[in-house]
Chain A
Amino acid sequence: MLRFIVRRLLQAIPTLLILSMLVFIWLRLLPGGPSGALLGDKATPEKIAALNKVLGLDQPLIIQYFKFLGRILSGDFGSSLISGEPVMAEIGRALPATIELSIAALLFAVVLGIPLGYLAASYRGRFLDNVTVIGTLVGVAVPVFFLGILLKQVFAQELALFPPSGRQDVTIDPTHVTNFAVLDGVLTQEWDASADALWHLVLPAIALSSIPLAVIVRITRASVLDVLNEDFVRTANAKGLQATIVRRRHVLRNAMLPVSTTIGLQTGLLLGGAVLTERVFVWGGLGSLLAQGIERRDYPRLQALLLLAAVVYVLVNLLVDISYAIIDPRVRTS
């Protein structure tokens, strides 16, 4: 087993190297370059040329690449051109925001999705079921950013029930411990800050949860319907077991297997949706970092974020392969 893991880890190295090279070359081939971005609007070609020399950007690409590789291997991803702060610090601060939003959306989708799917299946073909089925179709079809804008327009602007954007009110002066705003409020016993963070979470979490919610409802509904038709349910019912016991012990428990797999899959997809949602709600997470990085051509930030995405992708694949290998020993020898 260990040999398998080591082999797979070694295989990941060239993949990451190639990815780093692609990211590096792609960014370097964009016009203007880091110097143009650093010098801003009033950059002249002469100033750009002078700064290129300072930064070593006038050297051959291959030399620049190896220098870049050397730096990232020593953990130096450079500083953001926008904030002048090390990009790893920026990412470290933004990551909790994205995770917090994703968790809230997932919770919302699960807490609402499973009962709704279950109810729809129980009332199959009736009004509630039809409404749910149509609702989930809409949920999947409507783009996240559109839903976000709509929610903001109605609930933040017209009705003024929720804040239109941001993670916390400006009058709150939170103490940052983990950068999970809700958790930080709890840890520091600043309950007001925690509540305010939750309040800010509502609209973006609803927007982001639309797709996972719809998927969870549909899978739960289908799965419950499948189980309801199984022989053992019929037997249990025939034996005269109480309906609630049959539903809880037999139907729900068995129906949950595909649902839990789906939840796992949706978690991965949430991060993609978070990028769009963050943009709409000016959420200070990775999505905002990425969007601003692209707009203002913040090369160090983009490099780090793209590499991070690549590493996560490779690691997830590695974990999946390892888990398969544990489940099915034939994978190890193939």
Chain B
Amino acid sequence: MVHSRTARRRWTAAIGLTGVAVLALSACAQSERGGDSGSGKTGGTMVFGAAGEPKNFDPIFNDDGESFRPIRQMYDTLITYKRGTADLAPGLAEKWEPSADGKSWTFTLRKNVKFHDGTPFNAAAVCFNFDRWFNMKGAAAQSQMIYYADVFSGFAKNEGDAAGEPLYKSCEAKDEGTAVLNLNAYKGAFPAAFGLTSFSISSPEALKKYDADNVQQSGDSFAYPAYATEHPTGTGAFKLEKFDKANKTITLVRNDDYWGEKAKLDKLIFKIIPDENARKQELKAGTIDGYDYPNPADYNTLKSDGFNVTPRPAFNILYLGINEANTPALKDLRVRQAIAYAVNREQLVKTKLPAGAEVATQFIPKTVAGYADDVQKYPHDVNKAKELLTQAGATGLTLKFYVPTEVSRPYMPNPTEIAAVITDDLKAAGINVEIVSRPWNGGYKDDVQKLGKHDLHLLGWTGDYNDAGNFVGTFFGRAKAEFGFDDKALFDALSAADAVVDETKHADAYKQVNRDIMSKYLPAVPVSHSPPAIVVSSKISGLVPSPLTDERFDTVSKG
């Protein structure tokens, strides 16, 4: 009945296209709307507005949020995260245990788990996945496995990749429910990195059937096989029904054989709407039930319109980078400290960053193990800044401040405005600033990260998993054009912290490194942690925002 009424309404409205009676007719049709019945706590369809299309659905070939969102609903990882946090929780593995030297990891696997194709999940399937990743052939495939290459440092045969000695040694299926992963060295990223969406476990049968490894180089790019584009087969709470590329929708349906609590929704549709304003309009028009990354400027209007805007716990960092290579004065710690004292970060966070943003005292968020409460702090103090500059003989300093344009990142919604505030603060302390604006993709990243043309710059990072090394190690673990220093002591301290196996000692080592970074090195000024938000209509409940943007929609219900 609803169906035929909907059809009639559409026809009525459609006729309007050809005549001036459009508005009158559709106004009549409009009065017939609203007959859709509520769908209750279970069942129903949720439509979520996604900002971009996924590259493909094979977890190992992806590293971006838009691909990860649907993948997370269809797959599970060995270890996952407690809802709403970055803390580890059992996934496909109920338990995990490192050996004393951290070179092998034993996973006790969950029983009675089936892949979407009905084949059983077991230790052999886990090892099949690890072996597959390690032995991936072809330069094309390997260069698309960003996280694997990073975490496992390379492949059986490193083609066209600068990676060194591979970390992976072997995987043994001791019995159905026990898989042992052997590594050539300990790595601090584990166990947290086992939760990376890229390392989701696929069905070995489906991987073989749909030719999953057959990635072809096509000109300057790569073309993916059917497994990645049409037949992703995991163990997740939802299964892929269809990726309608013409209509830009990804339709997932509930997996009734799911090992955990079954999803509440019958269907979950991701509608790809690249324009943020269009996503907002669709939500207001009721054609979608929620979307990601609302503009901070819209938070209040959205809330007053009855939508739930939920900021995720911040898991990122914005920093004011300092390049010590071009201007000799910047090699002096006192000058870098003067810059830190000069910037009024409290004010900046209040005026230019979204609600919930916090001033950063170090380069990792509070939730990451290794966060130290007692680091040296740099509260806003212009006089102190001036004094330090005088002591260092660096008065009248002029710095080139590189600022990205045409970009908005969760950690910096508006770089130009943030830069303007910092510039004023620095000028007040007697530092002359010459702003150099470069488009994010049109030269900024090259100038800063590759060529080091700048003195100061704005950049940030969103964490991949809960490990301090993923933040500070990435920034300061080796010599980079971005910061222009080459300090072996710091590099060694970071790799030593990374190599500590014991969890508590691992965190302690990073705490000390963080204290040292803030007092002895200060290669940049940590500015803020900003929470990226997610917005849903009042009909939606059960969506738990994740600091890692690792939202699972199986707990969501509509109505």
Chain A residues near B (Cβ < 8 Å): 30-32, 34, 36-51, 53-55, 57, 68, 71, 76-86, 90, 93, 97, 104, 107-108, 111-112, 152-153, 155-157, 159-171, 173-174, 176, 179, 181, 191-192, 195-196, 198-199, 201-202, 205, 279-282, 284, 288, 291-292, 295-297, 299-300
Contact = CB atoms under 8 A, between A and B. Distances in A.
Contact of B63 (A37, A40, A112): A40
13 contacts: A31-B445, A38-B144, A40-B63, A47-B162, A71-B219, A78-B219, A83-B56, A165-B282, A166-B271, A195-B7, A201-B17, A202-B16, A291-B274
Where chain A touches its partner, the secondary structure class is helix
B450 A195 contact: no
B220 A57 contact: yes
B420 interface: no
Contact of B442 (A30, A111, A159, A300): A30
Contacts of A191: 7, 11
A41 to B, nearest CB: 8
Given A50-B162, A84-B223, A192 B247 contact: no
Contact of B446 (A32, A54, A201): A32
B242 A173 contact: yes
Contacts of B271: 166, 170
Contact of A160 (B30, B161, B449): B30
Given A84-B229, A191-B7, A79 B222 contact: yes
B45 A85 contact: no
B17 A202 contact: yes
A162 B26 contact: yes
Interface in B15-74: 16-20, 22-23, 26-27, 29-30, 33, 45, 47, 52-53, 55-56, 63-64
A53 B161 CA distance: 9
A284 B248 contact: yes
B287 to A, nearest CB: 6
Contacts of A165: 273, 278, 281-282, 287
Nearest to A67: B219
Nearest to A50: B162
Contacts of B19: 111
Contacts of A32: 441-443, 445-446
B208 interface: no
A196 B446 CA distance: 46
Contacts of A51: 143, 160
B374 interface: no
Contact of A93 (B13, B64, B246): B246
Given A83-B55, A165-B281, A300-B219, A39 B18 contact: no
B286 interface: yes
Lowest 5 A-B CB distances belong to which pairs? A78-B219, A198-B14, A195-B10, A54-B160, A45-B450
A313 B245 CA distance: 28
B228 A84 contact: yes
Contact of B285 (A157, A196, A297): A157
B246 A176 contact: yes
A46 B3 contact: no
Nearest to A53: B160
B503 to A, nearest CB: 26
Contacts of B443: 31-32
Interface of B: 3, 6-7, 10-11, 13-14, 16-20, 22-23, 26-27, 29-30, 33, 45, 47, 52-53, 55-56, 63-64, 139-140, 143-144, 146, 159-162, 217-224, 228-229, 242, 244-249, 251, 269, 271, 273-275, 278, 281-282, 284-287, 441-443, 445-446, 449-450, 481
A79 B282 contact: no
A230 to B, nearest CB: 30
Contacts of B140: 54
Contacts of A284: 246-248
A40 B146 contact: yes
Contacts of A54: 139-140, 143, 159-160, 217
A161 B273 contact: no
Contacts of B53: 82-83
A280 B275 CA distance: 8
B286 A160 contact: yes
Contact of B281 (A76, A164, A174): A164
Given A55-B217, A84-B55, A282 B247 contact: no
A85 B223 contact: yes
Given A84-B228, A85-B229, A164-B278, A79 B245 contact: no
A42 B150 CA distance: 11
Contacts of A159: 27, 30
Given A55-B220, A282-B278, 11 more contacts: A50-B160, A54-B143, A83-B53, A104-B17, A152-B281, A160-B285, A166-B271, A199-B13, A199-B14, A281-B278, A282-B248
A282 B273 contact: yes
Nearest to B17: A202
B14 A179 contact: no
B63 A42 contact: yes
A34 B29 CA distance: 49
Residue of A81, A82, A84, A282 contacting most chain B CB atoms (<10 Å) = A84
B18 A192 contact: no
A43 to B, nearest CB: 8
A77 B219 contact: yes
B410 to A, nearest CB: 11
B359 to A, nearest CB: 24
Contacts of A107: 18
A156 B16 CA distance: 15
B221 A50 contact: no
A34 B218 CA distance: 13
A191 B52 CA distance: 30
A205 B146 contact: no
A109 B246 CA distance: 26
A282 B248 CA distance: 10
Given A31-B442, A45-B449, A192 B221 contact: no
A156 B23 CA distance: 12
A217 to B, nearest CB: 13
A36 B441 contact: yes
